Each structure stands twice: as C-alpha cells, then as structure tokens.
C-alpha cells in the first residue's frame, strides 16, 4: 500500500484532522476567518496568481478537498517572504503551513512530480546536508540538468552570462565541482539527522494510531 | 580587548568563492573599525534555509540549527550568536523560538544531537549584524568613524523580506522600516524615504526554480529605485543582493529595460565611509560595478 493510501484510509472523510495531525502548524488551519489578507499580500499570487491562494486552500481543507489540495502546485509558489504571517489578523503562521502542506504532499507522494520548486527544495536540502554546507555550483547545475542532459546544456547556456559575471567577481568557483566547502563532522551531522527523521516518523505515526 | 565580542555564524554564501563572499570581506573590515570581535563557530553547518522545506520536515530542520547552538555553547559559552545572512538569522531564530516553546521538540532535539556528541544547556540569543550595529553600538558610535562621507550619493534602501519579517528589528514596522535609510544617512549619503519597493520580496529561491516569477518582482524593485533617481541600491540580505544584482541582464532581455544599477551591502558603504579602500569594501565582488563608490574609495582621507 502506498503512503498515501494508508493515510487516506485512516483519515477518511476528515481531511482537516489529517492536516492538523500530519502537517507542521496544521492545527492553525481552523483559525482562518477567510479575510483574504494573505492572498492579497502574497507577491507570487499578486504577480502570476496561485491556482488556490492560502485562504482558499484553508477553506478547501475544511471542505475535505483532499486530492485538489495535496496535488496543487499552489503552495510551492511560496517565496518565504513572510508577508502573510505578519499581516494575518489571526496571527496564523501561514508561511509555515504552506511549507508544511507542501512537505506533507511530498512525503506521501501526492505533490506534482515535475514542479520546479518542489525539485529545487529537495535538491537544496540534499545539497546542504550532504557535506553540511551548500555547494552553490552543484546546486545550480543540479537544477539546470533536472530535465535531462540536452535541456541542461540549454539552461546552462541561457545562464552563461549570469554565471560568468559571478565567476569574474569571485563569487562562483568552478573548482566547487570537485569538492568545495564542507563540515568536518559530516558523520555526526548525518547520524543526528537520521535520528531526527526517525523520531519525527515515530511521532507522526503515533498521532495516526492514537 | 575588543569592545564587543560575539560567536559568529557566517553562513554558506559568505564562504570564499561563494555568492556573498564580498559581504564577509566588508563585514570584517567594518568590524575592525568598530572594534567588534567575531569568532567563527567551529565547524558550523548550513541553516537549511527556508527553501529546504520539502525534505527537511520539522525536527531535522531544527536539529540542524541546534547543532550550531551546541557548538557555540561548547566553544564560546554565554556568547550571543551573530549572523550576517538574513536566512541564517531567520532559521536560527525560528529554531530558538520553537525549541523554547516546546519541551517535546527540545527533548527530541537533544536526543538527536547526542548522535553527534553534542548537547544544549542554554538557548543562545540570535542576532543579525544590523541589530548589533543599531542596538549594541548605536548610530552615534557608527557615525563617529565616518572620515569619508558619501556626499551626494542617492541610495535606495532595500530591506527585503527576511531581515524584516517575521521577526524584524525591534521597534521597526514591517511595512516601512527606517533603519536602513538611517544607515544611508549615517554614511553621509542621501536616502530615499519614499522608495516604495523597500520591503518587496526579491523572489527568494524562486529566482532559481521559477525565474519568470522572481524576475517580475526584481523588475519592480529596480525600476522603482531608478524612478526615485537612485544611483545604487543597498540591502542587508545576501539573497536580495544577488537576486537584484545578477539577474538585471535577464530582466532587461525579458522586459526590454536597460537596468544597470549596483546593489551593495550596508557594510560596503560603511567601509568606504570609514576610509577603507575598494578591496577592503569588497567592491571587486560586484557584478555590476559601483563606479561612484570606487571613485570615492580611491580618494585620500584627511585624518
């Protein structure tokens, strides 16, 4: 059974409860009073429009629209600008909930597969936890080559002038490809993160069972 | 003996050859003048940034930041942690807040840290460099060291998001913070109080993953600076700096604009005003050269 089937069966007809128990800060969703300040304050909603801006996602959660919410590209449009948080009259931590819903959709395999920010988010975390520090060159290349080699070369060419400018200014080091900055105690970092994942998994499972 | 001493969390982007390496260069020179001693936290790690959320989950993200707290406590007990990067500062502060408010999260974090042979006994204070400047030193002290005022230079103070929200600098408003304009004034330059894109988001990580969305915002930020007659933009955030500076060429292609405006760090302005040369101010790290500042930095200082 897929991760999604397991949770879907457990929380049948109670999507709000599922979000409250499985999503970071999810227990705040019911506090939304649908004023829409978050949607009006969101830079990417203002510029190019989310399919479902935050306040709409909150209502959809309460209406049990599980499939539409979890497969939506909307919350992946969050730029982490925190404008919604500081303006929300109910002080709902909206940015964290957007990240939380996205993370949950990703965790149970419901998030849109080729969504670019989803890809980049995963890439960033793997990149920075691998050695303990971000390798900016590998991070950029990893994104450009996400759709295969040919597209990667095309993307690289399109970004050539940007990259060249940075190299000239001493702010992009091509040698980062062969190593680069790193922490000494990588073993400790990996062990501590593995433990953290394990604890979090156990806690989420306990909520589902309880 | 330095006037002020802190545990320093430089962050990934400020490392040698990384995207904000010139920020660190200028911060070092600035702190030397101000007699502020920054001691790097040994073996510090990435904060995970906001964009790591898809894989990070809640606890792993906080554990990552907590490792830096533990290392700081081990090597420099009782010292406040200072970050120069907005995302590092935000990530660390958020972890501090969550762990302080949840005993479960704190206990889980301690258990995970054990795997790396570390522990936390006391939660450190997390400060941004601009907080140190404004709160611990103050504008009068900062101004005392100005020997080469940036007279007649009009500068748009672009605060951006993460130094401003959700925590921000104490006593400032989220919608119209004043401190950056005051810093511009302090170095003898001319601020633009009506710069309406002051707290607009630069697009953050979407500048990489969905450039068309981020560049629409970058266009607004730069355009408004031009509209107000700015010669350069100044910011306290490494990602704001990079996004607003390095994509101007792409914005020009996309929108038919002719943007070519330098984007500086507050610390670079201060180093030049304090009599430092172009190298100490990290001016060689600009993709769009700050000619006006280079000229000022080349002038003799009358002491």
Q: For residue A64, what are the contacts with CB-CB under 8 A and spacing of at least 6?
A: A13, A14, A15, A16
Q: Give B75's contacts in chain A (Cβ within 8 Å).
A: none
A139: nearest CA partner in chain B = B208
Asked if residue A74 belongs to a domain, the reply is yes
- Same domain membership, residue A98 and residue A171: no
Query: In the prediction, which pLDDT does B255 show?
Result: 97
**Rounded to an integer, what distance in angstroms lies between the CA atom of residue A64 and that of residue A108?**
17
Residues listed for chain A = 210
Number of domains in chain A: 2
Query: In the prediction, which pLDDT does B303 show?
Result: 65
- Same domain membership, residue A84 and residue A22: yes
Per DSSP, the residues of A71-102 read: T-SGGGG-----HHHHH-TT---HHHHHHHHH
- Same domain membership, residue A42 and residue A100: yes
- Same domain membership, residue A41 and residue A12: yes
φ/ψ of A113, rounded to 5, equals -60, -50
The H or E element that residue A190 is part of is: helix A186-209
- Same domain membership, residue A179 and residue A155: yes
- Same domain membership, residue A36 and residue A124: no
Q: For residue B197, what are the contacts with CB-CB under 8 A and spacing of at least 6?
A: B156, B158, B220, B221, B224, B225
- Same domain membership, residue A134 and residue A163: yes
User: What is the side-by-side strand order in the sheet with B190-191?
Assistant: B190-191, B154-157, B232-235, B263-265
Going by C-alpha positions, the residue among A129, A116, A142 that lies closest to residue B212 is A116
Tell me the nearest-neighbour CA distance from B101 into chain A, angstroms.
13
Residue where a domain stops, chosen among A78, A111, A144: A111
- Same domain membership, residue A105 and residue A7: yes
> A interface mutation test: which of B22, B55, B253 has the most A CBs within 10 A?
B55
B67 vs A: CB within 8 A: yes
Query: In the prediction, which pLDDT does B302 show?
Result: 67
pLDDT in tens, B81-97: 999 999 999 999 999 99
- Same domain membership, residue A163 and residue A92: no
pLDDT in tens, B25-49: 999 999 999 999 999 999 999 999 9
Structural domain including A45 reads: 3-111
ipTM of the complex: 0.95
Mean pLDDT of B218-227: 98
Confidence check: pLDDT of B1 > 80: no
Sorted by where each begins, the domain ranges of chain B are: 4-129, 148-298
What pTM did the predictor assign?
A: 0.96
Asked if residue A202 belongs to a domain, the reply is no
Query: In the prediction, which pLDDT does A48 show?
Result: 79
For strands B190-191 and B263-265, give the pairing: unpaired
Q: What is the CA radius of gyration of chain A?
A: 20
Q: Give B26's contacts in chain A (Cβ within 8 Å).
A: none
Query: In the prediction, which pLDDT does A1 show?
Result: 75
Low-confidence residues in chain A, pLDDT < 70: none
Residue with tokens 């010669």: B231
Burial class (CB in 10 A: 0-12, 13-18, 19+), A1: exposed
**Rounded to an integer, what distance in angstroms lies between the CA atom of residue B18 and that of residue A134?**
9
**Rounded to an integer, what distance in angstroms lies between the CA atom of residue A198 and that of residue A203?**
9
The H or E element that residue B127 is part of is: strand B126-128
B196 vs A: CB within 8 A: no
pLDDT in tens, B61-80: 999 999 999 999 999 999 99
> Top-level CATH class of B148-298?
alpha beta
Angle among Cα B23, B25, B31 to the nearest 5 degrees reads 95
Going by C-alpha positions, the residue among B176, B167, B160, B183 that lies closest to residue B243 is B160
Q: Classify domain B4-129 at the CATH topology level.
A: Glutathione S-transferase Yfyf (Class Pi); Chain A, domain 2 (1.20.1050)
**Rounded to an integer, what distance in angstroms lies between the CA atom of residue B65 and that of residue B59?**
10
**Rounded to an integer, what distance in angstroms lies between the CA atom of residue B251 and that of residue B257?**
7
Asked if residue A203 belongs to a domain, the reply is no
Residue where a domain stops, chosen among A111, A137, A152: A111
Residue with tokens 């978050």: A38
pLDDT in tens, B133-170: 999 999 999 999 999 999 999 999 999 999 999 999 99
Going by C-alpha positions, the residue among B247, B233, B257, B238 that lies closest to residue B287 is B247
Asked if residue A210 belongs to a domain, the reply is no
- Same domain membership, residue A177 and residue A94: no
Going by C-alpha positions, the residue among B213, B253, B248, B238 that lies closest to residue B163 is B238
Asked if residue A209 belongs to a domain, the reply is no
Tell if the CB–CB gap between B161 and A81 is shorter than 8 Å.
yes
**Rounded to an integer, what distance in angstroms lies between the CA atom of residue A117 and that of residue B204?**
11
Asked if residue A53 belongs to a domain, the reply is yes
Residue where a domain stops, chosen among A67, A91, A111: A111
Look up the CATH number of the domain holding residue A53: 1.10.1060.10
Q: Give A132's contacts in chain B (Cβ within 8 Å).
A: 43, 45-46
Q: Give B88's contacts in chain A (Cβ within 8 Å).
A: none
Query: In the prediction, which pLDDT does B118 show?
Result: 98
Torsion sign across C-alpha atoms B82, B86, B91, B97: positive
- Same domain membership, residue A101 and residue A20: yes
């Amino acid at each position: 059974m897929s991760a999604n089937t397991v949770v879907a069966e457990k929380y049948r007809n109670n999507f709000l409860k599922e979000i409250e128990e499985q999503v970071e800060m999810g227990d705040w969703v019911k506090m939304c009073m649908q004023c829409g300040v978050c949607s009006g304050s969101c830079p990417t909603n203002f510029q190019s429009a989310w399919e479902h801006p935050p306040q709409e996602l909150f209502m959809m959660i309460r209406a049990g629209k599980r499939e539409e919410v979890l497969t939506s590209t909307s919350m992946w449009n969050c730029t982490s600008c925190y404008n919604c948080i500081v303006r929300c009259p109910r002080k709902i931590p909206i940015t964290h909930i957007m990240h939380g819903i996205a993370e949950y959709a990703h965790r149970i395999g419901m998030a849109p597969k080729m969504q670019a920010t989803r890809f980049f988010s995963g890439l960033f975390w793997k990149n920075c936890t691998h050695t303990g520090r971000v390798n900016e060159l590998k991070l950029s290349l990893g994104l450009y080559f996400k759709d295969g080699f040919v597209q990667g070369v095309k993307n690289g060419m399109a970004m050539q002038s940007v990259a060249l400018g940075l190299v000239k200014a001493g702010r992009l080091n091509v040698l980062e490809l062969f190593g680069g900055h790193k922490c000494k105690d990588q073993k400790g970092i990996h062990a501590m993160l593995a433990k953290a994942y394990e604890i979090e998994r156990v806690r989420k499972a306990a909520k589902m069972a309880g | 003996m330095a006037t002020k001493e802190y545990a320093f969390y430089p962050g990934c982007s400020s490392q040698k050859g990384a995207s904000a390496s010139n920020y660190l260069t200028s911060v070092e020179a600035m702190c030397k003048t101000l007699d502020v001693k920054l001691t790097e936290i040994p073996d510090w790690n990435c904060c995970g940034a906001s964009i790591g959320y898809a894989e990070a989950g809640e606890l792993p993200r906080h554990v990552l930041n907590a490792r830096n707290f533990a290392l700081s406590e081990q090597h420099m007990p009782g010292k406040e942690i200072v970050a120069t990067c907005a995302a590092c500062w935000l990530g660390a502060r958020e972890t501090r807040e969550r762990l302080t408010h949840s005993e479960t999260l704190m206990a889980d974090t301690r258990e995970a840290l054990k795997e790396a042979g570390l522990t936390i006994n006391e939660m450190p204070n997390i400060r941004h460099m601009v907080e140190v400047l404004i709160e611990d030193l103050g504008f009068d002290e900062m101004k005392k060291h100005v020997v080469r005022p940036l007279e007649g230079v009009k500068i748009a103070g672009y605060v951006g998001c993460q130094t401003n929200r959700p925590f921000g600098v104490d006593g400032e408003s989220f919608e119209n913070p004043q401190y950056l304009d005051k810093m511009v004034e302090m170095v003898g330059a001319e601020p633009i109080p009506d710069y309406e894109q002051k707290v607009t988001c630069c697009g953050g990580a979407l500048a990489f993953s969905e450039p068309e969305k981020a560049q629409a915002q970058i266009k607004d930020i730069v355009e408004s600076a031009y509209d107000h007659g700015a010669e350069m933009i100044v910011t306290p955030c490494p990602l704001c700096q990079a996004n607003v500076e390095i994509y101007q060429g792409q914005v020009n292609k996309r929108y038919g604009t002719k943007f070519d405006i330098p984007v500086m760090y507050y610390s670079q302005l201060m180093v030049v005003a304090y009599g430092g040369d172009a190298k100490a101010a990290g001016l060689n790290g600009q993709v769009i050269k700050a000619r006006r500042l280079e000229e000022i930095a080349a002038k003799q200082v009358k002491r």
